[in-house]
């Protein structure tokens, strides 16, 4: 990686993010690169991967093959993309920044032959961040069967935040900003404002690099062990499985604990991954549906709410109860069903919810981040969790 002169010291840097359940249940930031600022590029803010890349000019996305690493018959040009040659503030390209990124067990491969340095610009008047290095992608290979070539879903850019060494080379935003002295710590936190009344409107949030604010959450802030440090595959954020509580949707009773599918086996730890869609829980689907009054949206193995998505009450949802590492206090994070809304169910006037139940694994995706306040501390090997989505916090 090309050396960059240290910038003036600053303790934290903030990046605006958003969440839209009906459109994209990942955490996203609209980043406009260069001078003048180009078209905003939806960038996945991903605590489940490392590296930082963006599609470059004339980048190709290939799909249509059901086999790993095999070219398919479908090609499309990535749009929007960062045309770095048209930016007056860029430096590079730098061959030292080349990298290849793999996601989903190799089902998505990103080739980046070089990197450039330039300015990141954001919506809403948030300060720009200059002289940032990002890998430029020229080719994406997606494992996906397609017979019509009518356009595959693909990521345009991913900003990785996981504590993984860059074994494949390439830029990493958080470590680079720390080396430059532009943030005072490797700690980062993320939170969101209260969900908007309009389900189609974005729920706005913040990614804060270098700090943990104390006024952006409600209730207890508990410190939990990053169970990812105990796994053979290091470098990810995991927490112990919390208690899942749910109440009848007809209001006939309080929220109660719902058992896991296999109570005779140890509950899995839960991957905390803002780049993943929805929620995946080992919670018993049968017990959950019985406790809530929801139904399975067959043939999908997901629950559905008995109203249109926009009509789901704002206070209806599930609760996740996290004990702190010392067992002295708990943090309860309530996740609204509205935040899980995926789209119309198979029955008219119902809404399918993106929460996978009775799974052998556990993943807290972007849906979790939209409701929680989370601070990530790699130095201490901990995460801090509290109820987020506090009105006026952004």
- pLDDT tens profile 173-192: 999 999 999 999 999 999 99
Q: Is 85 inside any structural domain? A: yes
* pLDDT band with cut points at 50, 70 and 90 for residue 234: confident
pLDDT at residue 6, as a whole number: 36
> Collapsing DSSP states into helix, strand and coil, what is residue 368?
helix
| 24 & 135 share domain | yes
Domain boundary among 182, 201, 230: 182
Q: Of 129, 160, 182, which closes a domain?
A: 182
CA dihedral 129, 130, 133, 137 (to 10 degrees): 80
Give the single-character DSSP code of 260. B
State pLDDT tens for residues 153-177: 899 999 999 987 656 578 999 999 9
Does residue 240 surpass a pLDDT of 90? yes
The whole-angstrom separation of Cα 95 and Cα 117 is 12
Residue 153 lies in a domain: yes
CB 240 within 8 A of CB 222: no
Is the same domain home to 165 and 233?
no
Question: Which residues constitute the domain of residue 169?
Answer: 14-182
Tokens 């796994």 -> residue: 231
Q: How far apart are CA 343 and CA 162, in angstroms?
A: 30
Higher-pLDDT residue of 146, 85: 85
Using a 10 angstrom Cβ sphere, with 0-12 exposed, 13-18 middle and 19 or more buried, the burial of residue 360 is exposed
Residue 346 domain-assigned (yes or no): yes
pLDDT at 9: 40
* pLDDT given for residue 349 in this prediction: 96
And the tokens for 14?
A: 């903030």
Same domain, 175 and 249: no
Asked if residue 221 has pLDDT above 60, the reply is yes
Is 333 part of any domain? Answer: yes
Q: pTM to 2 decimals? A: 0.93
Overall domain count for the chain: 2
Which of 1-15, 100-114, 262-276, 344-358 has the weakest average pLDDT?
1-15
Q: What is the pLDDT of residue 60?
A: 96
Average pLDDT of the residues in 254-270:
91
3-class SS of residue 157: strand
Average pLDDT (197-203) is 95
- Statement to judge: residues 228 and 375 lie in one domain: yes
Q: How confident is the model at residue 163, as a pLDDT?
A: 85
Residue 147's pLDDT is what? Answer: 66
Each residue of 8-38: pLDDT tens digit?
A: 345 999 999 999 999 989 999 999 999 999 9
Q: Are residues 334 and 238 in the same domain?
A: yes
pLDDT of residue 228: 87
Higher-confidence residue: 380 or 374? 374
Cβ count within 10 A of residue 58? 10
Shared domain check, 148 and 245: no
Do 370 and 227 lie in a common domain?
Answer: yes
Q: Does residue 251 sit in the same domain as residue 165?
A: no
Q: What is the CATH number of the domain that holds 270?
A: 2.40.70.10
Same domain, yes or no: 97 and 28? yes
What's the pLDDT band for 210 if we cut at 50, 70, 90? very high
Tokens 């992608």 belong to residue: 137
Task: Count Cβ atoms within 10 A of the Cβ of residue 348 and give its class: 0-12 exposed, 13-18 middle, 19 or more buried.
Answer: exposed
| Averaged pLDDT of the chain | 92
- Per-residue pLDDT, averaged over 233-260, amounts to 92
In degrees rounded to 5, what are phi and psi of residue 252?
A: -85, -5
Same domain, 162 and 285: no
Per-residue pLDDT for 2 more than 50? no
Q: What was the pLDDT predicted at 4?
A: 34
pLDDT in tens, 272-328: 999 999 999 999 999 999 999 999 999 989 999 999 999 999 999 999 999 999 888
Residue 281 and residue 226 share a domain = yes
Examine residue 112 and state whether it is found in any structural domain, yes or no. Answer: yes
Examine the domain organization and report whether 178 and 229 are in the same domain: no
Q: Which of 166, 182, 198 is the last residue of a domain?
A: 182
């Amino acid at each position: 990686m090309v050396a960059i002169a240290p910038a003036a010291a600053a303790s934290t840097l903030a990046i605006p993010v958003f969440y839209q359940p009906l459109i994209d249940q990942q955490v996203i930031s609209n980043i406009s690169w260069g001078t003048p600022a180009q078209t905003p590029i939806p960038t996945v803010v991903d605590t489940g991967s490392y590296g930082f890349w963006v599609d470059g000019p004339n980048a190709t996305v290939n799909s249509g093959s059901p086999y790993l690493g095999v070219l398919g018959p479908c090609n499309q040009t990535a749009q929007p993309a960062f045309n770095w040659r048209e930016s007056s503030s860029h430096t590079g390209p730098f061959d030292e920044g080349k990298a290849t990124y793999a996601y989903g067990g190799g089902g998505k491969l990103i080739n980046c032959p070089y990197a450039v340095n330039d300015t990141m610009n954001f919506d809403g008047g948030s300060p720009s961040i200059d002289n940032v290095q990002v890998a430029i992608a020229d080719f994406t290979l997606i494992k996906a069967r397609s017979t019509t070539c009518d356009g595959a879903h693909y990521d345009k850019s991913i900003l990785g935040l996981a504590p993984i060494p860059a074994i494949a080379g390439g830029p990493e935003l958080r470590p680079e900003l720390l080396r430059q002295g532009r943030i005072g710590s490797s700690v980062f936190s993320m939170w969101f404002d209260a969900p908007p009344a309009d389900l189609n409107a974005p729920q706005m949030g913040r990614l804060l690099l270098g700090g943990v604010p104390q006024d952006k959450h409600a209730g207890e802030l508990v410190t939990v062990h990053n169970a990812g440090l105990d796994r053979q595959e290091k470098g990810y954020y995991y927490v112990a499985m919390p208690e899942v509580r749910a109440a009848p949707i007809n209001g006939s009773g309080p929220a109660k604990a719902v058992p896991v599918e296999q109570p005779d086996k140890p509950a899995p730890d839960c991957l905390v991954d803002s780049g993943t869609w929805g929620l995946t829980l080992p919670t018993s689907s049968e017990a959950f549906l019985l406790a809530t009054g929801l139904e399975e949206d067959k043939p999908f193995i997901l629950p559905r709410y008995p109203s249109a998505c926009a009509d789901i009450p704002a206070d209806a949802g599930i609760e996740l109860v996290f004990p702190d590492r010392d067992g002295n206090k708990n943090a309860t994070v309530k996740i609204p069903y509205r935040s899980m809304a995926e789209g119309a169910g198979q029955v008219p006037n119902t809404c399918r919810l993106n929460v996978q139940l009775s799974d052998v694994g556990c993943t807290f995706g972007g849906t979790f981040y939209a409701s929680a306040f989370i601070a990530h501390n790699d130095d201490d090997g901990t995460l801090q969790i509290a109820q987020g989505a506090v009105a006026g916090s952004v």
